[in-house]
Amino acid sequence: MPTRPEDIYGISKASSEKAVEILSKVHGMEYVIIRPHNVYGPRQNMADPYRNVIAIFMNRILQGKAIYIYGDGEQKRAFSYVSDMIPAIAETGFIRSANGEIFNLGSDTPFTINNLVKTLSEVSGKKIAIEHIKSRPQEVKLAYCKHDKAKRILKFSDKTKLSQGLLEMWKWALGRGSQTPKYIDLEILGKEAPLTWKNRLI
C-alpha cells in the first residue's frame, strides 16, 4: 500500500524508508523497517516539550499544572507499551523472512486523547485541569492501524492494557519527580506553529 503522508513528520519518515530501500539495492545490505506507534513507558524523557504526549501529561500532573489538549481531544492514537514492543523489534534481526519487510508495530486498541486523560486521572488519583488550545496544523486525526503481519512473522503480542501500562509509568514518574522542559530555539517558527512551542507553555 503506498504511503500518503499528510505532514512534514510523515514525509520525513516516508523519505527515510525510501532511502533505506534504495541503499539496500545499491549496496546489497539487508534491512527491516519498523513503524512503531506512540510508544510509552518508564524512562521516557519527561523533559521533552515537543513529543511523547503521555510523558508531557504526566510531567504536568506532577507539577500540579493544567494539561493542554489540541482541538477537541478526539484525535485517536494507538498508545503502545514499551515492554510489548522490545521483543518483536529484537527478533527482526534473527528472522530471515523479515528481511526487506515493513512492519507496523503497536497497540490494536486506539484511544482518544480525551480517553487518555480520563485514564490518567484514574491511574494517578488526580483531578486533571484541562485547557483546550488551537489544533495543530495538518495534524493527523486518526493514527492507528492493523498489526497482523507483525503478529504472524515477528510473533508480536499487544498484551498490556493502557491502564496497566500507565500505572507502571506513573509509578516510575513519581519516583523521578517532575522535570524542567528543555526547549530549543527553533529555526522556523511561523504563525501557525503550535502554541505550546511558540509560547513555551509546557
C-alpha distances out from residue 47 to 90, 197, 198, 199, Å: 27, 14, 17, 16
> How confident is the prediction along the chain (202 residues), in pLDDT tens digits per residue?
678 888 888 899 999 999 999 999 999 999 999 999 999 999 999 999 999 999 999 999 999 999 999 999 999 999 999 999 999 999 998 999 999 999 999 999 999 999 999 999 999 999 999 999 999 888 888 888 999 999 999 999 999 999 999 999 999 999 999 999 999 988 777 888 888 988 899 9
Sign of the Cα torsion 192, 197, 201, 202 reads positive
Name the pairing type of β-strands 76-77 and 111-112.
Answer: antiparallel
DSSP 8-state code for residue 94? G
Q: What residue segments make up the domains of the chain, in order of their start?
A: 1-31, 34-198
Nearest to 37 by CA among 84, 90, 92: 84
Contact criterion met (CB below 8 Å) for 124 and 170: yes
Cell of 153: 512473522
CB contact set of 53 (below 8 Å; sequence gap of 6+): 38, 77, 113, 116
Single pTM value for the model: 0.92
Identify the helix (H) or strand (E) that includes residue 194.
none
In the CATH hierarchy, which fold is given to the domain comprising 34-198? Rossmann fold (3.40.50)
